[in-house]
């Protein structure tokens, strides 16, 4: 199941005995820290859980799927997310 923000806030509030407004503040703070870190070219690592790094994608040639026309795609930055060992282990145990 995928969670939207309000569902995630509710789950965090329930598991941590925080109010929903406190849990939402924590989610927002985490999002802000993650964005700041990635904008500064740094990454963030929650050991065993998740790693997020900023990566630069090179300019390349692509194809418009509707028309088949060749297009130039400019270089830009993206985010690479990697699951940590604890997260991988938890998911594979099911």
Average per-residue pLDDT for the chain? 91
The pLDDT tens digits of the residues spanning 37-80 come to: 998 988 888 888 889 999 999 999 999 999 999 999 999 999 99
The residue-averaged pLDDT of 87-91 equals: 84
Phi/psi at 77 (5° precision): -100, 150
Instruction: Identify the pLDDT of residue 43.
Output: 87
Classified as helix, coil or strand, 24 is: helix
Helix axes 5-16, 20-39, angle to 10 degrees: 120
If we measure between CA atoms, which residue out of 33, 30, 76, 80 comes closest to residue 54? 80
CB of 46 closer than 8 Å to CB of 60: no
Instruction: Identify the pLDDT of residue 90.
Output: 83
Instruction: Identify the pLDDT of residue 1.
Output: 61
Distance from the Cα of residue 41 to its chain's centroid: 15
The residue-averaged pLDDT of 7-20 equals: 95
């Amino acid at each position: 199941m995928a969670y939207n923000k309000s569902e995630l806030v509710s789950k965090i509030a329930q598991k941590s005995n925080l109010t929903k407004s406190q849990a939402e503040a924590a989610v927002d703070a985490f999002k802000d820290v993650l964005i700041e870190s990635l904008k500064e070219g740094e990454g963030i690592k929650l050991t065993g859980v998740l790693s997020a790094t900023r990566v630069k994608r090179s300019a390349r040639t692509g194809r418009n799927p509707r028309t088949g026309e060749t297009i130039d795609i400019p270089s830009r930055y993206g985010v690479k997310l990697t699951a940590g060992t604890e997260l991988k282990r938890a998911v594979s145990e099911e």
